[in-house]
Amino acid sequence: MKLIGVPFGGGTLSKNEGCQNMPSVIVEELDVEILQVDNFNVEVSFDVIEQKIALIDEPVMLIGGDHSITYPAFKGLKHNHDSVGFIVFDAHPDLQSDFSPPTHEDYLRALIDEGELDPENVLLIGARNISDEEQEYLEAKKIRTLSVSEAVKEQIEQFAKNYEILYVSIDIDVIDPSLAPGTGHLEPNGFSKVKFFELIEPLIGRAAIIDLVEINPEKDVDGKTVSLGIEIIKKFCF
């Protein structure tokens, strides 16, 4: 699995300023290609990401950067595949409206509203801070969700089976803040490390693209979050 760093934090609205530095931190330890993006130009950066993914014909793990990178990366995958299953681990559904271009708060809604992603191909895992507007959208679009307490490996396996091509997106804030404090929006009562690793097990070797986003080395405590991120990368890549 090819490892690509995407040092883009332009969609964070400054709340997670610093997450664009994660790729340069892991480059010291892992063999990672760093994509050239421009944090002051969202359109150009999104274009670079989308085109890169569209041209790649091997499994890729993207290291963000903020969650907005999923928007162009998913679109890039769609260049070559019609039906893609999308599994996202995130404390937030990222379904707010009215941001243009898409940010980490609404990238998923943008993909659905623009017809890139059929809501029935989405599985949202671990969301626990959901606005009323997002709840309405989840219900209207009949998006499948698994809460922290109800998620089990078998359901993820079952969902994944339906798709030849899978995109897996991991926002580090799905993990409990005591284990992953280095991120922009801390939400209590997340997954334990043991539980999370159990849940991703059926996805190892299965996904066309995995992204790991929102890790912020500048907000980290004792390097915990960066280390956990590296552990997750190694699970998928080695």
In the complex, the residues that contact Mn ion under the rule CB under 5 A are: 90-92, 171, 173
Of 68 and 121, the one with the shorter C-beta distance to Mn ion is 68
User: What's the chain's Rg over C-alpha atoms?
Assistant: 16
Can you tell me whether residue 124 is helix, strand or coil? strand
Q: How far is the CB of 139 from Mn ion (least distance, A)?
A: 20
CA separation (Å) from 160 to 11, 29, 155?
29, 31, 9
What own/partner pairs with CB < 8 Å and gap ≥ 24 does 115-120 have? Answer: 116/74, 116/75, 116/78, 117/74, 117/84, 117/86, 118/83, 119/143, 120/144
> What is the closest distance, in whole angstroms, from the C-beta atom of residue 141 to Mn ion in the complex?
19
Q: Which two tokens stand for residue 94?
A: 């990222």
The least CB distance from residue 94 to Mn ion, in Å, is: 7
Closest CB to Mn ion among residues 91, 212: 91
CA distance 175 to 80: 32
* DSSP conformational letter for 162: T
Task: CB nearer to Mn ion: give 75 or 92.
Answer: 92
Cβ distance to Mn ion smaller for residue 90 or 211: 90
Nearer to Mn ion, 106 or 171 (CB): 171
In whole angstroms, how far apart are CA 137 and each of 27, 99, 116? Answer: 38, 16, 17
Please, what is the minimum distance in Å from the beta carbon of residue 216 to Mn ion?
Answer: 12
Give least dist CB 173 to Mn ion, A: 4
| CB of 48 or CB of 226, closer to Mn ion | 226
66: left (phi > 0), else alpha (psi -120 to 50), else beta?
beta
- Least separation in angstroms between CB 44 and Mn ion: 25
- Cα–Cα separations (whole angstroms), residue 161 to 43, 98, 192, 229: 34, 34, 25, 26
